[in-house]
Amino acid sequence: MMRKSRGNLFIVSAPSGAGKTSLCQKLTAVLPNIRHSVSFTTRQPRKEEVNDRDYTFVGEDEFMRMAEAGEFAEWAKVHGNLYGTSIRRIEELRDGGTDVILDIDTQGTKKIRGRYDDGVYIFILPPSMDALKERLEKRMSNSPEEIELRLRRAYEEIREYKMYDYVIVNSDFAEALTDLKSIVIAEDRRTKRIDPDWVEKTFSV
């Protein structure tokens, strides 16, 4: 197996309901060397969510303490809740040669690009706004007011797609997952990702 000098960083964004979290979670289940970086949030957990698996759920005071201490690579207020990406969690994984995938919104991406210019940026689109609305309506936790808020935000986020390196349309989950896997595998095989010391040691004559 080829050895990388450092783990890659993949940043995935999408409007709420487009399926980015499900895609990221499934990707880490089917590829051996990639981990989903768990974000911190002040949002209340949904009934199926597990602390430190889906998110690390903290109070607003603790979140702001971490933000003021510079512990987040990025943080933002989204739909009335705070979300942040831990620098320590990213660096520990990458330093160990593990790829990291971040599931963050477009606000977070704008902030994180300056810190991680070697990242691979991927945007997930729904097949249509009607399909997005239908998906949001199927979530039992979403009120009509919250759905309307998320749809308005979706229009704003979709305008930012040109900020990303790749775009995937999630009209079929299996196909979208294949697209995401293909991007990760292709990026892993790029010449600049390979540890030159490993090549020299393995193939020296």
Q: What is the pLDDT of residue 141?
A: 65
Helices (H), 96-166: 106-112, 129-138, 144-158
Tell me, what CATH number does 131's domain have? Answer: 3.40.50.300
For the cut 60, the answer to whether the pLDDT of residue 140 exceeds it is no
For residue 203, is it within any domain?
no
Query: What is the domain count for the chain?
Result: 1
For the cut 60, the answer to whether the pLDDT of residue 205 exceeds it is no
For residue 54, is it within any domain?
yes
User: Higher confidence at residue 192 or residue 14?
Assistant: 14
Tokens of 96: 């160990």
Strand-by-strand arrangement of the 81-86 sheet: 56-57, 40-41, 81-86, 72-78
User: Higher confidence at residue 142 or residue 25?
Assistant: 25
**pLDDT of 31-63, one tens digit each?**
989 998 888 999 999 888 899 888 999 999 999
User: Higher confidence at residue 3 or residue 79?
Assistant: 79
Helices (H), 4-59: 20-30
For residue 43, is it within any domain?
yes
For the cut 60, the answer to whether the pLDDT of residue 119 exceeds it is yes
Cα–Cα dist 135/37, whole Å: 25
For residue 4, is it within any domain?
no
Cα–Cα dist 73/34, whole Å: 19
For residue 114, is it within any domain?
yes
pLDDT band at 115 (very low <50, low <70, confident <90, very high): confident
For residue 95, is it within any domain?
yes
> At 73, which helix (H) or strand (E)?
strand 72-78
For the cut 90, the answer to whether the pLDDT of residue 72 exceeds it is yes
Could you list the residue range(s) of the whole structural domain that residue 49 is in? 9-192
Q: What is the pLDDT of residue 148?
A: 84
For the cut 60, the answer to whether the pLDDT of residue 127 exceeds it is yes
For the cut 70, the answer to whether the pLDDT of residue 84 exceeds it is yes
Q: What is the pLDDT of residue 174?
A: 96
Averaged over 84-97, what is the pLDDT? 92
Q: What is the mean pLDDT of the chain?
A: 89
If one counts every other C-beta atom within 10 angstroms of the C-beta of residue 135, the result is: 18
pTM for the structure as a whole: 0.83
Q: What is the pLDDT of residue 1?
A: 55
For residue 199, is it within any domain?
no
Q: What is the pLDDT of residue 3?
A: 67
For residue 135, is it within any domain?
yes
Q: Among residues 36, 175, 177, 31, which one has the least CA distance to residue 93?
A: 36
Q: What is the pLDDT of residue 2?
A: 58
